[in-house]
């Protein structure tokens, strides 16, 4: 406080931007196209395995048969490499970022709204892709993207990508929705039965809806919102809050809510829809016509990894054609390895999930960390950074 001018300090206090204001003191914050991550070295050569690897993963990414005996790509890995896998399932990107800070984990399946934060804080180390033989078969369109590399240095191995879908109870919602409109409408007939993802990044879903319903706001990318656009998205979510039954971040909680009918409509992942259907809940999931938010996930290695050699072996395993096909098919996302398409049980799987279908993925906005430098390329304004999204999310839930 002492080092900031009085006016700025007062503004900071009013805006409760305790976090945003002190950032000027730290050079690690994002800077335009390229911020400077802490100088860390990637591994040079692969050593013998350490016998263990601790993973942070999205639900369904590291299945060892305990959810479904037929779904298991962890035990074959353990048998092949001698690395015992222990997995911590995280519900949100924020949780992943926080778990990585503990230094107890070796690798993480980070989405685009976590990866840059992990790189900037020095929690994720650069990855030597030469030590991952299967990397060569990963779709070129996924390599060295802005969420998995910085200044030409790779920080992870692409895992798979998909869209956040709209799930509904077939017996309670008619007509079948093809748009996000009933989720956001103030007079939605499903008041009190709507569910939403409990994370600040969900603000982008509202922004995406505004892109088609209020073009005058000029939103071109749901992760690049100036203050006027941001306020509109927050207002929409406040209005939605009155209709929400419950927010979810634990996927089992959403499954149970849809099974009982406490939730009948709302955002979901394909794996949740699959699980709910397997438990005989009459649900379906669609990609609405406005498009959707989505994820493109990257396996990253912790800078403090105690088992880096096993972590590299895991990264190679999870993008190997066979394992990548299994995880993609179980989770319901497009695989990262192009050869995986030959190994799926359903031969039309890659077509169904639009792997390498560039036109389809134009409608999906992959999670990205919002930073002051607008990620849509606008130079004449500053965008609302993620720290403000977090504060706004608390306010939305009230």
Partner 1 sequence: MTALAAFLHRHPRLRLAGLLSAPTAWLVVAYLGSLAALFLSAFWTTDPFTSDVVRIWSLDNLRAVVTTDVFRTVALRSIGVAVAVTVIDVLLALPVAFYMAKVARPRHRRLLVVAVLTPLWASYLVKVYAWRAILAEGGPLDWVLRPLGLGSPGFGLPAVVAVLAYLWLPYMILPIHAGLEQLPDKLLEASADLGAGAGRTFRSVVLPMVLPSVAAGSVFTFSLSLGDYIAVQIVGGRTQLIGNLVYANITLDLPLAAALGTVPVVVILLYLLAVRRSGALRSL
Kindly determine how many residues on this chain lie close enough to bind partner 1 according to the rule CB under 8 A. 49
Which range of residues in 67-75, 251-259, 313-321, 346-354 is near partner 1 by CB under 8 A? Answer: 251-259
Q: Binding partner 1 by CB under 8 A: which of 95, 137, 284, 290?
A: 95
Contact in structure between 208 and 363 (CB atoms under 8 Å): no
Q: Cβ–Cβ contacts within 10 Å for residue 115, how many?
A: 30
348 burial class (0-12, 13-18, 19+ CB within 10 angstroms)? Answer: exposed
How far does the chain reach from its first CA to its final CA, in angstroms? 29
Task: Fill in the DSSP letter of residue 176.
Answer: P
Which range of residues in 132-140, 242-250, 268-276, 277-285 is near partner 1 by CB under 8 A? Answer: 242-250
Which is closer to partner 1, CB of 65 or CB of 395? 395
- Asked if residue 326 binds partner 1 (CB under 8 A), the reply is no
CA–CA distance from 248 to each of 204, 223, 257, 263, 296 (Å)? 16, 21, 9, 10, 21
Token digits of residue 199: 């994370």
Q: Cβ–Cβ contacts within 10 Å for residue 65, how many?
A: 12
CA distance 155 to 303: 11
CA distance 208 to 224: 11
Which range of residues in 50-58, 93-101, 128-136, 308-316 is near partner 1 by CB under 8 A? Answer: 93-101
- Asked if residue 394 binds partner 1 (CB under 8 A), the reply is yes
Q: Binding partner 1 by CB under 8 A: which of 253, 307, 313, 343?
A: 253
Cα torsion 228, 230, 234, 236 to 10°: value is 70
- Asked if residue 94 binds partner 1 (CB under 8 A), the reply is yes
Residues 6+ apart with CB under 8 A from 310: 49, 50, 51, 52, 53, 81, 83, 106
Which is closer to partner 1, CB of 213 or CB of 373? 373
**Site map (CB under 8 A) of partner 1, residues 351-370, x = contact:** ------------------x-
Which is closer to partner 1, CB of 318 or CB of 396? 396
- Asked if residue 281 binds partner 1 (CB under 8 A), the reply is no
CA distance 93 to 375: 19
- Asked if residue 72 binds partner 1 (CB under 8 A), the reply is no
Which is closer to partner 1, CB of 211 or CB of 374? 374
Q: How far is the CB of 72 from partner 1 (least distance, A)?
A: 26
Q: Name the site residues for partner 1 (rule: CB under 8 A).
A: 1, 12-13, 16-23, 25-26, 28-30, 94-95, 97-98, 101, 116-117, 120-121, 192, 241, 244-247, 250, 253, 256-257, 260-262, 369, 371, 385-387, 390, 393-395, 397-398
């Amino acid at each position: 406080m002492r080092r900031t001018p009085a006016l700025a300090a007062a503004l900071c206090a009013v805006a409760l931007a305790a976090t945003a204001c002190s950032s000027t003191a730290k050079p690690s914050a994002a800077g335009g196209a390229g911020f400077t991550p802490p100088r860390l070295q990637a591994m040079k050569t692969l050593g013998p395995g350490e016998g263990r690897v601790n993973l942070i993963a999205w639900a369904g990414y590291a299945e060892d048969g305990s959810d479904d005996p037929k779904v298991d790509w962890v035990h074959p890995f353990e048998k092949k490499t001698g690395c015992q896998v222990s997995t911590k399932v995280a519900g949100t990107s924020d949780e992943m970022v926080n778990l990585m800070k503990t230094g107890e984990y070796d690798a993480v399946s980070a989405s685009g709204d976590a990866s840059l934060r992990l790189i900037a804080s020095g929690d994720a180390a650069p990855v030597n892709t030469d030590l991952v033989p299967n990397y060569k078969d990963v779709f070129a369109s996924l390599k060295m993207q802005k969420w998995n590399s910085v200044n030409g240095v790779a920080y992870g191995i692409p895992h798979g990508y998909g869209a956040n879908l709209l799930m509904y109870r077939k017996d309670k919602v008619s007509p079948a929705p093809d748009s996000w409109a009933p989720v956001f409408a103030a007079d939605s007939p499903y008041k009190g039965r709507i569910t939403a993802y409990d994370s600040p990044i969900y603000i982008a879903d509202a922004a995406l809806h505004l892109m088609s319903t209020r073009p005058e706001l000029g939103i071109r990318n749901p992760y690049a919102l100036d203050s006027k656009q941001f306020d509109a998205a927050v207002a929409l979510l406040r209005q939605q809050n009155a209709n929400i039954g419950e927010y979810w971040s634990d996927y089992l909680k959403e499954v149970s809510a849809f099974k009982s009918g406490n939730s009948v409509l709302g955002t979901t992942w394909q794996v949740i829809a699959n699980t709910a259907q397997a438990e005989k809940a009459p649900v379906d999931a669609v990609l609405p016509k406005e498009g959707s938010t989505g994820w493109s996930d990257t396996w990253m290695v912790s800078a403090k990894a105690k088992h880096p050699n096993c972590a590299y072996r895991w990264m190679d395993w999870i993008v190997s054609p066979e394992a990548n096909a299994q995880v993609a098919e179980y989770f319901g996302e497009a695989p990262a390895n192009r050869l995986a398409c030959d190994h799926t049980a359903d031969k039309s799987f890659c077509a169904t999930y639009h792997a390498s279908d560039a036109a389809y993925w134009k409608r999906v906005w992959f999670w990205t960390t919002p930073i002051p430098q607008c990620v849509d390329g606008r130079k004449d304004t500053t965008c609302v950074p993620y720290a403000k999204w977090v504060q706004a999310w608390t306010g939305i839930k009230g």
